[in-house]
Structures are given as C-alpha cells and as structure tokens.
Amino acid sequence: MTKDRNFTKIQELTYELRVRDAMIADVVTVSPKQAIHNLRDVMREKHISGVPVVDEGRVVGLISIEDYIRCLAQGEMDVIIERRMTRDAETLYADEPLVHAVRKFEQYGFGRFPVIERNGQKLVGIITKGNIIKCLLRKLEVEYHEEEIHHYRASHIFEDIVADKTNLVLKYEIAGKDFDRAGQSASRLKKTLHRLGIRPEIVRRIAIVAFEAEINIIVFTDGGRLTVSVCSDRITIGASDNGPGIPDTEQAMQPSFSTAPDWIREMGFGAGMGLCNIRNCADEMSLASQIGKGTNLEVVIYLNGNEADKDVRRQNEAS
C-alpha cells in the first residue's frame, strides 16, 4: 500500500528496461549427460546455487544446489544430471520488459531464470533478483546524475558566459482558445527557471504571473506569446497578443472585474483575479492595450530584491 515517489519511478523503469539490460550474459551451464558430482566444482568455484542444463544451445532443464544436496544424501553422485534436473524450466525472453521478470520471481519464488532469445530459443544469459536490483540502482544513478548535470550546466550559464551583460530570452507561443494546453507554457518556464538555479520563491512568483498571462491570452485572444528575459539581476516577463484589446485597463485591474463569458467562468476561470494576482507577484508591472490591435503586459521581478525592497520600490513609485 505504501508507495512513495521512488517506488513509482522504479515501476516506470521496470517497464522501460529489458531483461537483457539486467541479465548476466556470461552464464555457466552444464550438459544433461554429465554426472551429478560435476556440479560440486561448478557451484563452488563460481559461487552459484543453480545452473541451466543446456543441450545444443537450448535450455532443457535447471539444476540447483538443493537437487545436488538431495542426491548427495541419497548417494547418487554418479547419476546423470538429466535424471535429477527440473525439466520444463521457466525461462524469460531477453527482449521482455523487466517487469515481467519481477512478476515471474513473485509468482514462482525461484532464485533465477535462464534467459533465451525469442528467435531460436538459444540461451543468452541468466537473471537473479540481485541482477535486477543492481540494474535498477545503476539506472537510477545515471538518471540522477544526468539531472544534476542539467541543473549544474544551466545554473552556471551566467558565470560561464563572458560578457558585460548577459540576457537569456525564452519564448513560448500560446494558441488562443486552447484550454487543453492551458498552463503548459507556465509549466515549461517554471522547469527552465528551476534548472537555471533561480530561487524557488522567485520561481513561484514568476509561475503565477506566467500562468495568469497565459490564461488571459487563451481566453480572450486568438493567440499570443510569452517572452521571458533572464538577466543576472532580474527577470522580465512579457505577454503580448493581437487580440481585441482592453477598453479600460484601470478597470481591468480592479479585483473581481471580469468580462469573461459564463462558459469560461464555469471552468473556474474569469474570476477577475488574474491581473491582480500578477500585480501582487510583480516588482514592476505595466499594461498597455489598444482596441483592435492587442495588449502588451510587462512584468519585472528582481532576483536579489527581498520583500522589503519591493515595498520601498512601490512607495517610491506611488510618490
């Protein structure tokens, strides 16, 4: 019942990875005509507790240390393997997803499964639970490392680029009336800013600005774009469209003022809060609109400013 995020990630990996990725290809085998006593050296030297029995490349059975011990107790050391092995051994195909292997281990409770090619049925490897765990850990480590690299590379961009001033511009196209993809640009922007190493509380404010601006473009226009400019000290978010324009921008900024039609309101949009939310997150905000031409919104958020600076700036603007 307890499922945490890592468990989900591992589940995902077991679908992605193949049995081939986790198996051991260098597999020790015995032939059916060998005598049981041969197993002693094979198992002791290789530290293994079960061996596929192979005849002309095909798996004909499986013999384990338990079988060996039983024969030892019965004094059957000279009996040939064929007569004491488990026939019809369960096998896995090399190209099966790893999750099939996991299920098979749960289902049968065996320690190992021989792995065969789908075409030709030849033995190509062997897999144990230990192999699966090792393979998953290796894959998790690689993925974790890759995300670290993404994060590292991106967050050092401003230090690595040699210039008097660096300005990174990100553009996101927004299709009008496309409610299914609403919020997607804001999500992509958020992920990018996170990778750039921008502080989480700043990213949160920018995400709100971008989301509300995106929704406005989707609800009221036939499309537009977000242009986000990242400098070392500030992020500027521009939202522009060629839509119908806003007749009275002062009025549009009033809390709860909305011109959204009912069907938009039913979806939970159009509460008249969008521009207010933007203003509350912005250090600077300007809204310019021309009827029939379109609307341009520009918001500046300072990267190093704290809330106190923001208040001071607001007071300065007001005075």
Partner 1 sequence: MKLKDIVERLHLESATPRCGLDREVSGGYASDLLSDVMANSREGNVWVTLQVHQNIIAVASLKELSGIIIVNGRKAEQEVLAKAEQEDIPVMLTGLQTFEIAGRLCEIGIRGNTK
Picking from 100, 90, 82, 92, the residue whose alpha carbon sits closest to that of residue 124 is 92
Q: What type of residue is 259?
A: T
- Choice between 19 and 186, CB closer to partner 1: 186
Question: CB within 8 A of 292, min separation 6: which ones?
Answer: 244, 245
- Choice between 136 and 182, CB closer to partner 1: 182
CB of 19 to partner 1, least distance (A): 22
Question: CB within 8 A of 267, min separation 6: which ones?
Answer: 179
Q: Contact at 8 Å (CB) between 278 and 285?
A: yes
- Choice between 23 and 207, CB closer to partner 1: 207
- Choice between 10 and 77, CB closer to partner 1: 10
How many other CB atoms are found less than 10 A from the CB of residue 106? 9
- Choice between 172 and 269, CB closer to partner 1: 269
CB of 13 to partner 1, least distance (A): 13
At 96, list the tokens.
């099966």
CB of 245 to partner 1, least distance (A): 21
- Choice between 108 and 179, CB closer to partner 1: 179
CB of 30 to partner 1, least distance (A): 43
Residues in a beta bridge with 51: 63
Largest CA distance in the chain: 102
- Choice between 7 and 108, CB closer to partner 1: 7
State the residues that interact with partner 1 by CB under 8 A: 1-5, 7-8, 11, 179-180, 182-184, 186-187, 190, 204, 207-208, 211-212, 215, 267-269, 271, 273-274, 276-277, 280
CB of 303 to partner 1, least distance (A): 19
How many other CB atoms are found less than 10 A from the CB of residue 198? 19
CB of 274 to partner 1, least distance (A): 5
Q: How far is CA 57 from CA 54, 124, 294, in A?
A: 6, 9, 73
Pairing of strands 294-302, 112-116: unpaired
- Choice between 74 and 280, CB closer to partner 1: 280
CB of 260 to partner 1, least distance (A): 11
- Choice between 268 and 292, CB closer to partner 1: 268
Chain centroid to Cα 177, Å, comes to 28
Dihedral sign of CA atoms 183, 184, 185, 187 in order: positive
Query: Which of left, alpha, beta for 71 (phi over 0: left; psi -120 to 50: alpha)?
Result: alpha
CB of 66 to partner 1, least distance (A): 38
CB of 124 to partner 1, least distance (A): 32
Cα–Cα dist 225/214, whole Å: 8
Q: What letter does residue 232 receive in the DSSP assignment?
A: S
Picking from 136, 116, 133, the residue whose alpha carbon sits closest to that of residue 125 is 116
